[in-house]
Copies of this chain bind each other. A is one copy, B any other.
Amino acid sequence: MIWANGNFQLLQDNYLFSTIARKVKDYQAAHPDADIIRLGIGDVTLPLPEAVLKAMHIAVDEMGRIETFKGYRSDAGYEFLRQAIADNDYKAVGASVDIDEIFISDGAKNDTANFTDVFDGGNVIAITDPVYPVYMDSNVIAGNGGKVQPDGKFTRIKLLPCTAESGFMPDLPRHKVDVIYLCSPNNPTGTVMDREALKMWVDYARRHGSLILFDSAYEAYIRDDSLPHSIYEIEGARDVAVEFRSFSKTAGFTGLRCSYTVVPREIKARVKEGGTASLNKMWARRQDTMFNGVPYIVQRGAEAVYTPEGQAQIKKNIDYYMRNAGDIRRCFENLGCLVFGGENAPYIWLKIPEGYSSWQYFDKLLAEHNIVGTPGSGFGACGEGYFRLTGFGSRENTMKAIERLKNGGK
């Protein structure tokens, strides 16, 4: 019998969102009449913008004519899309990113997870707690975690606790770390790193030769003009930071699958046998060998996001979700809860009432109000005692959920 990758045994039995899906399914089966409102998973509910649909219809037609049919093409993506990204997402905010540094992919989840392929188990990995579970799980699968200690922690994964006291901002680690995962606007806490906080991390990384993996999948939800959308708005970041972005939340692409990763040419990594390697070249080779690009029609859809119509349409959708988020935030504030997020992010992160664990509060909200949220403990130990809700529901459902909470209590 072959040897399995034993690291899978170190993972929790189920991926967080699969567990929630199963619980909700079981509840619905037991209560067929329950009108369940899903404000748990961060999935969009509005249809795709008109500009995207139009571009995709044209692209489908192109795939049907021999003169315009598209087969295999660069794994890194079509130049038309990479150029639109370089111009609109970077040049426009004063950051310089070349198209050779942009890699189109089919999801920020995939990219953040697959990026573990280019580094080695010899690094110390810093991951904030709470955070999106994929950073931890993918490193565990890759064997980058090191040994499991008696307390269940991994020797090579340094958790950076984020608490209400510090506004869920991580402190710099006391001991040197090599790879640092930062997510801003944060999933799940909805908090956003300002320029000063981000500069502190870039400076740390430059001082210690660390690599920052910056997940800004929710940057489009930032309303405060003083907050940075890209880590490359911070001086010196090109030497130390990789950035992950996605069209999922920006333009409703969760079922369409398009994202991108920026790997500046400046970033180097040490090789055990001596010398250094370019991370940009390593990622290019990784994608070349293990990926075959995003569908042409989807890339044309993503390109359309950058047209004036596309921009107006996604802004309208984001406004819609942010109105929901703001209302949910205010609802819980009125119920006397401590609440984070919901102002520059679609996530509302609330301190749950005394006497409940995160999963108990999940069960309570589901049973009493038929509302589905996400238990904070699913994002790490420091998430215990907190609960995540999202502004991604329909306006109608969000208002209905708020009504239920107002009447029935938190």
Which residues of A are at the interface with B, using a C-beta cutoff of 8 A? 1-6, 8-9, 11, 14-15, 18, 41, 43-48, 50, 53, 56-57, 60-61, 63-66, 69-73, 106-107, 109-110, 113-114, 117-120, 122-123, 134, 137-138, 141-142, 178-179, 209-211, 252, 254-257, 268-273, 276-277, 279, 282, 285-286, 288-298, 394
B109:A256 contact, CB within 8 angstroms: no
- Docked complex Cα distance between A271 and B290 (Å): 26
B71:A3 contact, CB within 8 angstroms: no
Q: Chain B nearest CB: distance from A300 CB in Å?
A: 11
Given A60-B53, A138-B290, A257-B292, A282 contacting B5 (CB threshold 8 A): yes
A269:B71 contact, CB within 8 angstroms: no
- Docked complex Cα distance between A6 and B122 (Å): 11
Chain B residue numbers with a CB within 8 Å of A286 are: 8, 141
Q: Chain B nearest CB: distance from A407 CB in Å?
A: 27
A53:B61 contact, CB within 8 angstroms: yes
Given A57-B60, A119-B4, A270-B4, A15 contacting B288 (CB threshold 8 A): yes
A3:B118 contact, CB within 8 angstroms: no
Chain B residue numbers with a CB within 8 Å of A279 are: 4
Contacting residue for A9 out of B53, B271, B289, CB 8 A: B271
Q: Chain B nearest CB: distance from A198 CB in Å?
A: 19
Interface centre among A3, A107, A209, A271 (most CB of B within 10 A): A3
A292:B110 contact, CB within 8 angstroms: yes
23 contacts between A and B (CB under 8 A): A1-B268, A2-B210, A2-B211, A3-B119, A4-B269, A4-B279, A6-B271, A6-B273, A41-B72, A43-B71, A46-B66, A50-B64, A53-B63, A53-B64, A71-B252, A72-B255, A73-B255, A110-B292, A138-B290, A256-B295, A256-B297, A295-B298, A297-B297
B61:A209 contact, CB within 8 angstroms: no
- Docked complex Cα distance between A15 and B288 (Å): 7
- Docked complex Cα distance between A178 and B3 (Å): 8
Given A3-B122, A3-B178, A268-B1, A134 contacting B289 (CB threshold 8 A): yes
- Docked complex Cα distance between A256 and B70 (Å): 8
Identical chains in the assembly:
2
Name A67's closest neighbour in chain B (CB-CB).
B47
Q: Chain B nearest CB: distance from A48 CB in Å?
A: 5
Chain B residue numbers with a CB within 8 Å of A288 are: 14-15, 18
Interface centre among A43, A209, A257 (most CB of B within 10 A): A257
- Docked complex Cα distance between A277 and B44 (Å): 35
Chain B residue numbers with a CB within 8 Å of A69 are: 45-48, 252, 255
- Docked complex Cα distance between A23 and B295 (Å): 25
Q: Chain B nearest CB: distance from A244 CB in Å?
A: 13
A107:B64 contact, CB within 8 angstroms: no
Given A48-B64, A60-B60, A255-B71, A269 contacting B2 (CB threshold 8 A): yes
- Docked complex Cα distance between A177 and B269 (Å): 34
Considering the complex of A and B, which 3 residue pairs feature the smallest CB-CB distances, nearest first? A4-B269, A113-B290, A3-B120
Q: Chain B nearest CB: distance from A126 CB in Å?
A: 11
- Docked complex Cα distance between A15 and B53 (Å): 35
Given A45-B71, A141-B286, A257-B293, A272 contacting B6 (CB threshold 8 A): yes
A257:B141 contact, CB within 8 angstroms: no
Given A11-B285, A47-B66, A179-B2, A257 contacting B209 (CB threshold 8 A): no
- Docked complex Cα distance between A252 and B256 (Å): 20
Interface centre among A18, A47, A113 (most CB of B within 10 A): A47
Name A53's closest neighbour in chain B (CB-CB).
B64
- Docked complex Cα distance between A117 and B4 (Å): 9
Chain B residue numbers with a CB within 8 Å of A276 are: 1, 4
